[in-house]
Structures are given as C-alpha cells and as structure tokens.
C-alpha cells in the first residue's frame, strides 16, 4: 500500500480533519460525558457521531485541489 501524494500535508484534507474531530468526540465521551450526561443523552451523542460519519463520507468525495496526473 502506497501513501497518497503529498501525505505530509494530509492535515489539510477535510476527511482527515473530520476524522480527528470524531476521534476527539470519542475521547470526550470517555472523559467528559459523565459531567454532561444530564444535558447530552446517549441518543443525541450517537446521532451527532453518525452525522459526523456521514459528513466524513461526503468529504472523501470532494475534490480538494488540482489533479496531479492531469496534463493540459
């Protein structure tokens, strides 16, 4: 398996940013959810996480820069 071209700049990709957000929300659930349990139900958290996963899917389809292999 080969990494994508310019993988060192992957933090600029929307899908990577959304993935980091999902991971941080998972960490927040572990550490902070007991404090938020009265305000944030498990159902609301699951809906938020599922929504972010759908946004991640769409972000993977968005073109984010010029084609590397295109010739004019």
pLDDT tens digits, one per residue of 20-45: 888 887 787 777 767 776 777 778 87
Q: What is the mean pLDDT of the chain?
A: 77
pTM of the model: 0.61
Confidence of residue 5 (pLDDT cuts 50, 70, 90): confident
Contact between 18 and 59 (Cβ < 8 Å): yes
- Counting DSSP H helices and E strands in the chain, the numbers are 3, 0
Find how far residue 61's CA is from the centre of its chain. Answer: 13
Instruction: Assess whether pLDDT exceeds 60 at residue 70.
Output: no
């Amino acid at each position: 398996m080969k990494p994508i071209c310019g993988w060192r700049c992957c933090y600029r990709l929307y899908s990577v940013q959304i993935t980091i957000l999902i991971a941080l929300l998972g960490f927040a659930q572990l550490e902070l959810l007991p404090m938020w349990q009265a305000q944030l139900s498990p159902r609301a958290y699951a809906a938020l996480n599922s929504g972010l996963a759908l946004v991640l899917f769409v972000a993977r389809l968005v073109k984010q820069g010029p084609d590397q292999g295109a010739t004019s």
